[in-house]
Structure 1
């Protein structure tokens, strides 16, 4: 029986990752159509999963979704263990400025955008992309990809930060035009959104520090088209936003500097999948009538794998599942792993 499996990326996933990058479309900044960058990401992921990242707590883990029967790569997601350490992680924080004058009896408040670099050491989850045929329906692929990232954190908590952040793609039209960029970024960078997006991926980000305004930008002075999309996510990211909110992530008035998309965050210990998952021993058997749908994972960094499965939890510490699941996870009966059950 065919199953969808989340597994660590490999160097030979290059062609599949390039295809996903092409399919992701404009504005999906974490999956650029750039062979050199894709190859570097695959190399960095291999180091991270082998327990030897370039720096402690800065592993860049890339997971791919694979059909267990056909080997087709259906999507991907990623976890960056520690952001803002080697290069700045810029964003805009929306602040409210209160002003008043007793002389003319006037009081008002106004929102402003302030450039910050305040998320040093946070873990970032992102790069969640699925081929269209795997979205929705019986696959439950979106949940599998999203929750696999948190099961990975639960498997090796010392590798990740205490705080977790997620960026959502902002509003970008089919032609690759970002209303936020046109109203803000272009004024300071004098380049198209796509070029700025590309430069942010291939450079150390110094150009952002050089060209970005050092003073607050008053939101009311921006064009209406730019104001309207601040903190809004791309239509294709609405499902991802709902999943993040379900996990416990919250929007704290921080947005992306390029497309104005929302950034959400939470404490790692408060993430729902992590809180509700538990370690069990997997035993071989046929789940009965009382079997539950569950996410099952290997609970170790190396050879990490996650899949949906039917399991019988005959005690708090034992889960029974059939041979197909063992084969998909590449483990044997008696292996210790982690489960999250869908109540």
Structure 2
């Protein structure tokens, strides 16, 4: 059974292998072994700390196969993005250029360097091993959304709003059309080189080198315009998972490859709105006739765990869990767990849409006639 738990220093070797295998580079997993060890130690300290408000905490999660003990993926949360240095993105502004004399009224998009996301909690560092990725979408859903389960249960540790930066469009060789049109002209270097040096978009050289004045989108090459706000094909599943959780495209895009920035109010996310707290009972008798997949998390003794399990599709104070599920969650009869449906029912989706539709801001961009259909670094 696959389950998500906090990373430990004993996971160093496996995480070091993931750091080398991840493409593009994951800033949450440094290639240098000593830096990676310090990163894991910071995560362990963050999970243990008594936190009243978000600061420099960093939370590293791993996906483990309980049958083999093998780690198949990792994902993380940054409590406050750009805590030490500003977190840079492009803000997409719509500017009106009008002339009454010429009867001209044009809305022009312009990209302006911004650090408005600085201090906001961020989902980052998502990596899934090929073995887990080949098993279907369930592992990706579990690993990605387990972070939201943790945030839902530990609200004081995070800001009211969270964001995620998805990988932008590149070709098979890793070349970014947006970088070639913008970034290369200022840095004079390859995208991969600056990606490694950027440290997760929080380096002062970004403000020193990138343009401080607005970039008018219509003046960019058409190929660069088309990819603004578009996720990489490798990020389409991640995009869909975020949307199902309640994230929406925002007016920001990545400063290097123009990948989409998705944001969500934690209190309006699926892991908060559709949460049920149930008491664990040992499984017995025949399985429930009407069952559905649930994200189930525990926090016994402060050790967070999260799994996917089939549970009765009915509001109940109790839930029966089989032995493998209880073992993965490290819970016993009488403990409490947090349960959230993996996918919304038609009624739940209708209720969510009644609260306000998805932000269609990216759909108005040049080259983006419709909203993209699919976390990075």
**Normalised by the size of structure 2, how large is the TM-score?**
0.83
State how far apart, in whole Å, the 2-side matches of 1:244 and 1:225 are.
26
With 95-104 and 112-121 compared, the bigger mean Cα shift is at: 95-104
With 59-68 and 105-114 compared, the bigger mean Cα shift is at: 105-114
**1:288 aligned partner:** 286
**2:105 aligned partner:** 107
**1:183 aligned partner:** 181
**1:305 aligned partner:** 305
**1:133 aligned partner:** 131
Note the C-alpha offset of 1:29.
5.3
**1:73 aligned partner:** 71
Measured at CA, do residues 107 and 314 of structure 1 come closer, stay the same or move farther in structure 2, by a change above 3 Å?
A: closer
**2:335 aligned partner:** 335
Alignment of 1:1-343 (within 5 A): 3-26=1-24, 30-31=28-29, 33-51=31-49, 56-135=54-133, 137=135, 140-201=138-199, 205-286=203-284, 288-290=286-288, 291-299=291-299, 302-312=302-312, 316-342=316-342
Residues 123-177 of structure 1, C-alpha deviations (whole Å, 9 max, x = no match): 1112222122322645710111122011101221111110010110111233232
State how far apart, in whole Å, the 2-side matches of 1:46 and 1:5 are.
18
Note the C-alpha offset of 1:100.
1.8
Give secondary structure in 2 for the equivalent of 1:87.
coil
State how far apart, in whole Å, the 2-side matches of 1:315 and 1:248 are.
22
Measured at CA, do residues 40 and 234 of structure 1 come closer, stay the same or move farther in structure 2, by a change above 3 Å?
A: farther
State how far apart, in whole Å, the 1-side matches of 2:96 and 2:80 are.
35
Gaps of 5+ in 2: 346-377
Note the C-alpha offset of 1:34.
4.1
With 240-249 and 96-105 compared, the bigger mean Cα shift is at: 96-105
Give secondary structure in 2 for the equivalent of 1:191.
coil
**Normalised by the size of structure 1, how large is the TM-score?**
0.91
State how far apart, in whole Å, the 2-side matches of 1:136 and 1:103 are.
61
Judge conservation of contact 1:296–1:309 (CA < 8 Å) in 2: yes
State how far apart, in whole Å, the 2-side matches of 1:152 and 1:38 are.
22
State how far apart, in whole Å, the 1-side matches of 2:30 and 2:270 are.
30
Judge conservation of contact 2:88–2:201 (CA < 8 Å) in 1: no
State how far apart, in whole Å, the 2-side matches of 1:27 and 1:202 are.
10
Give secondary structure in 1 for the equivalent of 2:267.
helix
With 60-69 and 195-204 compared, the bigger mean Cα shift is at: 195-204
Judge conservation of contact 1:172–1:178 (CA < 8 Å) in 2: yes
Gaps of 5+ in 1: none
Give secondary structure in 2 for the equivalent of 1:76.
strand
Measured at CA, do residues 165 and 139 of structure 1 come closer, stay the same or move farther in structure 2, by a change above 3 Å?
A: closer
Aligned length: 341
Note the C-alpha offset of 1:191.
2.1
With 75-84 and 310-319 compared, the bigger mean Cα shift is at: 310-319
Measured at CA, do residues 289 and 200 of structure 1 come closer, stay the same or move farther in structure 2, by a change above 3 Å?
A: same
Measured at CA, do residues 284 and 176 of structure 1 come closer, stay the same or move farther in structure 2, by a change above 3 Å?
A: same
Note the C-alpha offset of 1:216.
0.2
State how far apart, in whole Å, the 2-side matches of 1:263 and 1:247 are.
15
State how far apart, in whole Å, the 2-side matches of 1:189 and 1:287 are.
66
Give secondary structure in 2 for the equivalent of 1:201.
coil
Give secondary structure in 1 for the equivalent of 2:198.
helix
Note the C-alpha offset of 1:334.
1.6
